[in-house]
């Protein structure tokens, strides 16, 4: 693929550039915005306001600062704030940028339109949706809702309970959504990525059509629908395109390397008539193809916009030069790229360190021991992160951290509103803004005593066909066994329609739901209750019920306790994908073994290249210290051990960039006496644990969780099969099982 030539070098900071001034408000003082605040490349990006601009922003190069100052500069130049559109991938990112721009300028920044692609799509579709034949009262559904509908349709179409294995709801949504995001036909996606499901292709197509019609019938849109319908407005409706494109005279897009094909097409259409679009991104940090992101969007941008000016941000404000020299070398061999060389003025001569462990357990011990030493040197746990390719790569590390009392937080998990009890509560709010929301009605009816899935769906379908679902609900002939529950629900909905504030609605729904909640989650409802209390605080911030419902789907809050101040000084362990955009003083990247990184399934070409970029992202998270490690032995799926070498990405690095610490580490005691975990001085004994490799068959053993069992089989002396009295047969690795022999 031939790409337009990029700018091989950008000017380094030199003589002062002309100052840009931003006002602190009417009659306020002028604050200079020149090279005192921006380097030369940033300055060029900020002040180039006409025509298409592609900013290649290397890791830690101040792209957010650049966007913030560009917004301020546009406003200072007299651009109406409501004509500036800032598109990001999280609402938090746009809010932070506009807040920072407001500190430079004034309150006019609050009128800049900023948000996620999906958030802006939602706003525009509620305004222009009539052009496409739907009103403004549609409900946005999340991934869990979509999978629920797919399950319902699988059953109704007779695709469940067959002898032949039909794809799961998760896989079906991946196929349907993947085809949309990649702008390909479902059949083509199946035969390119899901060939093992090709026998089901006709049925999957049929299900996809029914899924689309179900959403239309019940006033629902999923995340893909928001983008597709926004694109349709711009491409198919001249009145809407004219209204939208004339409204926004300056478009800015953050993290452009993460856009899918639909989003890239939206950006192209938005620039109709003026071409004033600036996209910011880093081709070397494109790692989300599994979400539909298209790496080649950023590479194609100069072809889509032939007058594009390419500006590179290469000065790094995060890492020391030895770390940057390594990251530059990682990406040096990338096939398709915008050539750039990151540099820094930050002092530091410590090279990244490499440790080749005999096995995963030794690798985990190396990490834990080094963390202890860092704590002893005054580094807080919160300034340390351990990153890995996939979630299961951290299991042995987690065991070692637990055994040494080191508190950690594994990144990932449910959003607050993805929890079942939260979905139950929010269903009532969704019904009030969209009475045709079949999914929410069904969820509510399933809470009625003596009402099963078939009855719940029957009632929901009846309401969906009625002119007024609330009137139909009041008149529905309830069964004798569930009439009492139905009466209470009818009374509730009648009261909710009369309530005037979101706070009133919350209190009434909470009172109705509380006994149901305690019955459904009797084992842990006191713990879950904190989530409902948190929901109350969220609801109280909204005057507009529709806005609340939209936000809980488009930008759901984090789970309770995630931001608990008491949890701040914890080690972070995370997949590399979840670490993007973050930084720490010290970073460990583990599991860099051949066959594991890159992933064994990665094919030569773009898949392989994305794995290379993933390592680049991991390494650029580090400010001062970077540790790379890999085990020389891995367990295969059939529970055999095989020898492996280092990742080919490490093997191809230039000499002298990494310090090999393997030999030095092995000459040290197993553990240091540095403070670990809670900061207490822990004394580690160097006594080796008893060897259990030769457990005899029939030997009685005790496990701290499974209890008493009998050894039935040994696997090469490394693991055993144990038949436990209460938990059945378990295969346990002798290094970790903590078995004790029961004397006969």
Q: What pLDDT band is residue 400 in, cutting at 50, 70 and 90?
A: confident
Contacts of 733 (CB under 8 A, 6+ apart): 718, 719
Q: What is the pLDDT of residue 263?
A: 95
Give the DSSP letter string of 384-424. EEEEESSGGGGHHHHHHHHHTT--EEE----BGGGSHHHHH
Which H or E element spans position 741?
A: strand 740-741
Residue 561 predicted with pLDDT over 60: no
Instruction: Give the residue-averaged pLDDT of 675-697.
Output: 43
Q: What does each C-alpha distance from 715 to 642, 722, 734 come to in angstroms?
A: 14, 11, 10
Residue 741: pLDDT band (50, 70, 90) is confident
What pLDDT score was predicted for residue 704? 63
Contact 125, 233 (CB under 8 A): yes
Question: Do residues 699 and 692 lie in contact, with contact meaning Cβ atoms separated by under 8 Å?
Answer: no
Percent helix, percent strand, percent coil in the chain, to nearest 5 = 45, 15, 35
pTM for this prediction: 0.74
DSSP 81: G
Alpha helices in 157-287 (DSSP H): 169-181, 186-193, 201-217, 223-236, 238-247, 261-270
Region 311-315: mean pLDDT is 96
Q: Judge whether residue 251 has pLDDT over 90.
A: yes
Residue 708's pLDDT is 83
* Continuous segment of H or E residues that includes residue 94: helix 91-104
Q: State the virtual CA torsion across 704, 706, 712, 718 in degrees, nearest 10.
A: -50
pLDDT > 80? residue 743? no
What is the percentage of the chain residues whose pLDDT exceeds 70? 84
Confidence of residue 155 (pLDDT cuts 50, 70, 90): confident
Q: Which of 399-408, 475-484, 525-534, 559-568 has the lowest mean pLDDT?
A: 559-568
Neighbours of 644 (CB within 10 A): 15
Please check the confidence at residue 428 and state whether its pLDDT lies above 50: yes
Strands 728-733, 719-724: pairing is antiparallel
Confidence of residue 416 (pLDDT cuts 50, 70, 90): low
Question: Residue 579: CB partners within 8 Å, gap ≥ 6?
Answer: 385, 387, 411, 617, 618, 621
On the question of pLDDT at 303 being above 80, the answer is: yes
Mean pLDDT over 166-192 rounds to: 88
Beta strands at 700-703 and 277-281: parallel, antiparallel or unpaired: unpaired
Give the model confidence (pLDDT) of 361-376 as tens digits.
899 999 999 999 999 9
Contact 220, 141 (CB under 8 A): yes
Mean pLDDT estimate for the chain:
82
For the chain, what is the total number of helices (H) and then of strands (E)?
27, 24
- Secondary element (H or E) of residue 140: strand 139-140
* CA distances (Å), origin 267, targets 164, 232, 234, 297, 477: 43, 13, 10, 11, 52
Query: Shortest CA distance to 96 belongs to which of 74, 121, 68?
Result: 68
pLDDT value at residue 678: 33
Q: Which pLDDT belongs to residue 518?
A: 87
Which of 34, 36, 4, 40 lies closest to 19, judged by CA? Answer: 34
Does the pLDDT at position 157 exceed 90?
no
pLDDT, position 560: 38
pLDDT-derived band at 709 (thresholds 50, 70, 90) equals confident
Which of 122-131, 304-313, 662-671, 695-704 has the least mean pLDDT? 662-671
Contact 447, 459 (CB under 8 A): no
Distance of CA 16 to the CA centre of its chain: 40
Structure confidence at residue 342 (pLDDT): 94
Spatial distance between the Cα atoms of 432 and 139, rounded to a whole number of angstroms: 10
Work out the end-to-end distance of the chain between its first and last CA atoms, rounded to an integer number of angstroms: 72
**Residue 627: per-residue pLDDT:** 97
For 711-720, letters b (16+ CB in 10 Å) and e give beebeeeebb
Establish how many alpha carbons lie within 13 A of residue 265's alpha carbon, considering only the half-sphere containing its beta carbon: 17
Contact (Cβ atoms closer than 8 angstroms) between residue 175 and residue 290: no
- CA separation for the pair 319, 625 (Å, rounded): 9
Q: Please tell me the predicted confidence (pLDDT) of residue 566.
A: 41
* pLDDT for residue 11: 33
Between these two residues, 187 and 534, which has the higher pLDDT value? 187
CB 95 within 8 A of CB 114: yes
Who contacts 86 (Cβ-Cβ below 8 Å, separation ≥6)?
67, 71, 94, 97, 98, 112, 113, 114, 115, 252, 254
- CA distance linking residue 547 with residue 278, whole number of Å: 29
210 or 678, higher pLDDT = 210
Looking at residue 4, its pLDDT comes to: 35
- Per mean pLDDT, which of 53-67, 137-151, 513-527 is the most reliable? 53-67
- Between residues 626 and 135, the one the model is more confident about: 626
Which pLDDT score, from 0 to 100, does residue 688 have? 37
What local confidence, expressed as pLDDT, does residue 698 receive? 83
At residue 422 the predicted structure's pLDDT band, cuts being 50, 70 and 90, is confident
pLDDT of residue 640 exceeding 50, the answer is: yes
Q: What is the pLDDT of residue 385?
A: 96
């Amino acid at each position: 693929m031939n790409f337009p030539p990029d700018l091989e070098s950008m000017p380094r900071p030199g003589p002062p550039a002309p100052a840009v001034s931003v006002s602190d408000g009417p009659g306020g003082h002028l604050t200079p915005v020149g090279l005192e605040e921006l380097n030369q490349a940033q300055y060029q990006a900020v002040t180039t306001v006409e025509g298409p601009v592609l900013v290649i922003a290397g890791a830690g190069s101040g792209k957010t600062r650049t966007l913030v100052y560009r917004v301020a500069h546009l406003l200072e130049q007299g651009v109406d704030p409501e004509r500036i559109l800032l598109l990001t991938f999280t609402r938090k990112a746009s809010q932070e940028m506009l807040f920072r721009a407001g500190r430079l300028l004034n309150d006019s920044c609050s009128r800049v339109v900023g948000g996620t692609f999906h958030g802006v799509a939602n706003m525009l579709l509620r305004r222009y949706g009539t052009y496409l034949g739907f009103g403004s009262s549609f409900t946005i559904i999340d991934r869990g809702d979509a999978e629920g509908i797919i399950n319902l349709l699988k059953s109704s179409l007779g695709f469940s309970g067959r002898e032949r294995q039909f794809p799961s709801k998760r896989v079906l949504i991946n196929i349907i959504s993947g085809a949309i995001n990649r702008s390909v036909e479902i059949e083509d996606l199946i035969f390119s990525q899901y060939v093992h499901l090709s026998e089901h292709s006709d049925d999957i197509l049929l299900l996809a059509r029914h899924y689309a019609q179900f959403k239309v019938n019940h006033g629902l849109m999923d995340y893909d629908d928001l983008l597709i319908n926004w694109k349709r407005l711009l491409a198919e409706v001249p009145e809407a395109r004219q209204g939208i494109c004339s409204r926004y005279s300056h478009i800015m897009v953050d993290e452009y390397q993460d856009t899918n094909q639909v989003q890239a097409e939206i950006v192209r259409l938005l620039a109709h008539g003026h071409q004033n679009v600036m996209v910011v991104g880093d081709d070397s940090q494109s790692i989300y193809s599994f979400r539909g992101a298209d790496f080649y969007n950023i590479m194609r941008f100069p072809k889509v916009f032939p007058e594009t000016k390419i500006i590179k941000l290469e000065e790094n404000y995060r890492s020391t030069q030895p770390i940057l020299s390594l990251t530059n070398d990682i990406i040096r061999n990338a096939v398709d790229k915008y050539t750039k060389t990151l540099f820094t003025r930050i002092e530091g001569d410590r090279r990244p360190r490499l440790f080749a462990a005999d096995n995963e357990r030794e690798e985990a011990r190396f990490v834990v021991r080094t963390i202890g030493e860092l704590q002893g040197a005054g580094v807080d746990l919160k300034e340390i992160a351990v990153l890995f390719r996939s979630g299961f790569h951290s299991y042995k590390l987690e065991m070692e951290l637990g055994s040494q009392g080191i508190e950690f937080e594994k990144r990932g998990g449910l959003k607050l509103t993805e929890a079942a009890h939260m979905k139950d509560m929010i269903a009532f709010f969704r019904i009030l803004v969209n009475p045709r929301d079949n999914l929410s009605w069904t969820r509510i009816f399933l809470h009625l005593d003596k009402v099963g899935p078939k009855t719940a769906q029957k009632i929901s379908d009846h309401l969906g066909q009625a002119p007024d679902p609330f009137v139909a609900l009041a008149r529905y002939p309830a069964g004798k066994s569930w009439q009492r529950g139905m009466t209470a629900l009818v009374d509730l909905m009648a009261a909710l329609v009369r309530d005037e504030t979101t706070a009133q609605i919350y209190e009434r729904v909470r009172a109705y739901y509380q006994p149901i909640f305690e019955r459904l989650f009797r084992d842990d409802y006191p713990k879950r209750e904190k989530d409902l209390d948190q929901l109350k605080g969220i609801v109280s911030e909204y005057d507009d019920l529709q806005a609340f419902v939209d936000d809980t789907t488009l930008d759901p809050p984090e789970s309770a306790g995630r931001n608990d101040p008491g949890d701040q000084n914890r080690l972070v362990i995370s997949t590399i994908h979840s670490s993007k955009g973050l930084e720490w003083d010290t970073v460990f990247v583990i599991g860099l073994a051949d066959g594991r990184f890159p992933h064994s399934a990665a094919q030569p070409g773009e898949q392989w290249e994305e794995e290379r970029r993933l390592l680049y992202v991991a390494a650029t998270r580090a400010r001062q210290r970077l540790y790379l490690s890999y085990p020389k032995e891995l367990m295969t799926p059939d529970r055999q051990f095989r020898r492996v070498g280092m990742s080919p990405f490490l093997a191809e690095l230039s000499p002298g960039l990494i310090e090999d610490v393997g030999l030095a580490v092995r000459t040290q005691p197993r553990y240091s006496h540095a403070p670990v975990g809670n900061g207490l001085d822990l004394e580690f004994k160097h006594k080796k644990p008893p060897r259990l490799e030769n457990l005899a068959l029939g030997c009685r053993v005790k496990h701290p969780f499974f209890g008493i069992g009998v050894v039935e089989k040994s696997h090469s002396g490394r693991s055993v099969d144990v038949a436990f009295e209460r938990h059945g047969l378990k295969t346990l690795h002798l290094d970790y099982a903590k078995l004790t022999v029961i004397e006969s």
